[in-house]
A and B are shown apart, each in its own frame.
Chain A
Amino acid sequence: MRAVNLLAVFVENKPGQTARIARLLSEAGVNLSWLTIANSGSFGVMRFLVDQRDTAVRTLKDKGVMVSLVEALAVEVPDKPGSLQAVADLLGRNNINLDNCSGFVVHNRAVLIIEVHQIAQAGAILEQQGFRLLDQDEMLRL
């Protein structure tokens, strides 16, 4: 099954934290292709898709930043009404909960990034129904 690895970073929820992490990554020459930030009270979790995963992890860990890798599915969907519904409906009917989800369109290609607990099962179901899953390289080349 094709999946992508996202970098998850644990930070305090206070001004300047995004800038700090972004600076560390840019100084290491790491390019960001996608990101989200979720806040929960005192802390926030940033997720990045980066071109040099290992360099990014090592750089942040060296600076004492708490990092973890998270597996996600990158699902290519038709750029038209009803695509999100089709994917969500399929997973819902199979009793798979969406833990995190984001989406975007670039060069007329629509992509959903999905995190679920049962990632292998979800990947298989989506591929059976004809959805294409992108791997790390494809995501970075979009």
Chain B
Amino acid sequence: MFWDQESETLARPTLEHLQMKLLRETLERVAQRVPFYQQRLAELGLKPESIKSLADVRRLPFTTGADLRAIYPNGLLAVDRTEAVRLHTSSGTTGKPKAIFFSRKDVDNAAELIARSLVSAGISRADVFQNMMSYGLFTGGLVMHYGAEKVGCLVIPAGPGTSERQLMLMQDFQTTVVHILPSYALYFASFLEQKGIDPRKDLTVRKAFVGAEPHTEETRRCIERIFGCDVYNSYGLTELNGPGVACECECKAGMHLWEDNYILEIINPATGEPLPDGQTGELVLTTLKREAMPILRYRTRDITSIVPEPCDCGRTHRRLVRFTGRSDDMLIIRGVNVFPQQIERVLMSFPQMGRNYLIIVEGLDDLTIKVELAPAAFDGQVDHLEALRQQMIEKLRAEIWIRPKVDLVPAGSLPVGQGKAKRVIDKRSL
């Protein structure tokens, strides 16, 4: 199923021709209206007409998260602020957030991309869409909401309400699709278990859109198993509209990135050099249709690679493989690079593992992983728990080359936020 079959299946040469045309328009806009880019382009001796082909994109300057913070709040606006109709900000855990403006056309276009994504995952106007993401400055709520409405779903703007209320809405309105954080999906599953509710029999959820947090294939399968539904990975970031930048279609084989809206590059994060398709590196995106706030070559810090082969679904927009991590999330412990997802992958391979875990680094690079035990895995025997703990330590050591301390804790004892799960606490003060 397609929302916009023509755009989604453009022949590659046509798509690239379109990208080039939109890129030139974007460059002309920023060169005329955004002092930040005027200066950057001048420093590099570039004019919009210097970029003659997509291969020249690598000559353009990068934009980083630090740049967006430095020019907060209004720095990248390419329209008069009266033209902007919506403001979102990044979660900004430290200091000032990043402010992102949308024009009316931008709001509509973001919804258009969500609509494509939802329909590509088999969602239609007949669906009841419960959006369990936070509404407000976070894009996961409102941007997704507009897209699901565009498709014609009945949208329930549940937001991050209590589990009791989420369940009531699901039961009373026969929710068929949820948009949910993967960590919350796992927490919600244990809530249902406690209530004696079997989501496969007692609920009508058939599809789940999970995003906003990197998660592993094991977590996807776990959520699918518990809820008896299809789970689709999606990718977005506030700086580039929020959700809907890339989404999995029904093939569930990587996320199609909407290339008529973004120029996609994978670079070596250390050197900034572009990498060929198939190689793993940092995702860099240039907006092509953004009116209020175009961004050139944004360093997403997310680590992935491009799937070069065409997808069975017929879409020509290339796919990204599941993210292996954010370069920001990478921990360096005793000189070894560790991605939290590596740890998650190992933990999820244990059926005794509950729904939540927490990675703590403290002191002189001591790594402790707190793991919730699944209720069914407790048989009262301390020696069985000890043996499980040792198995976890050994498997983790084989994966990350560091021997962690593993603490087993009861189900439900680790903190679950309403927003993105905090999986890593780094207490080192170096």
Interface string of B56-72 (1 = CB under 8 A from A): 00000000000000000
Q: Is the CB of A42 within 8 A of B408?
A: yes
Does A104 have its Cβ within 8 Å of any Cβ on chain B? no
Q: Is the CB of A47 within 8 A of B407?
A: no
Given the interface pairs A12-B413, A43-B385, A45-B380, the reply to whether A66 lies near B373 with Cβ below 8 Å is yes
User: Which residues of the partner chain B approach A65 to less than 8 Å between Cβ atoms?
Assistant: 410
CB distance from A81 to the nearest CB of B (A): 30
Given the interface pairs A64-B194, A66-B373, A66-B375, the reply to whether A45 lies near B382 with Cβ below 8 Å is yes
Does A11 have its Cβ within 8 Å of any Cβ on chain B? yes
User: Which residues of the partner chain B approach A47 to less than 8 Å between Cβ atoms?
Assistant: 380
User: Which residues of the partner chain A approach B370 to less than 8 Å between Cβ atoms?
Assistant: 42
Given the interface pairs A10-B373, A43-B385, the reply to whether A64 lies near B411 with Cβ below 8 Å is yes
Question: Closest 3 A-B residue pairs measured CB to CB?
Answer: A8-B380, A42-B407, A70-B380
User: Which residues of the partner chain A approach B375 to less than 8 Å between Cβ atoms?
Assistant: 66
17 further interface pairs, Cβ-Cβ under 8 Å (given A38-B382, A40-B382, A65-B410): A8-B380, A10-B373, A10-B385, A10-B410, A12-B409, A40-B386, A42-B370, A42-B407, A43-B385, A61-B194, A64-B411, A64-B412, A66-B373, A66-B410, A67-B378, A68-B380, A70-B380
A65 CA / B379 CA spacing, docked (Å): 13
What are 12 contact pairs spanning A and B, CB under 8 A?
A6-B380, A8-B378, A8-B381, A11-B410, A12-B410, A41-B389, A42-B370, A43-B408, A43-B409, A43-B410, A64-B194, A66-B375
Closest to A69 in B: B380
Does B80 have its Cβ within 8 Å of any Cβ on chain A? no
Interface string of B400-414 (1 = CB under 8 A from A): 000000011111110
Q: Is the CB of A42 within 8 A of B409?
A: yes
Does B383 have its Cβ within 8 Å of any Cβ on chain A? yes
Q: Is the CB of A66 within 8 A of B383?
A: no
User: Which residues of the partner chain A approach B382 to less than 8 Å between Cβ atoms?
Assistant: 38, 40, 45
User: Which residues of the partner chain A approach B194 to less than 8 Å between Cβ atoms?
Assistant: 61-62, 64
A68 CA / B352 CA spacing, docked (Å): 15
Q: Is the CB of B408 within 8 A of A99?
A: no
CB distance from A112 to the nearest CB of B (A): 18
CB distance from A5 to the nearest CB of B (A): 10
Closest to B371 in A: A42
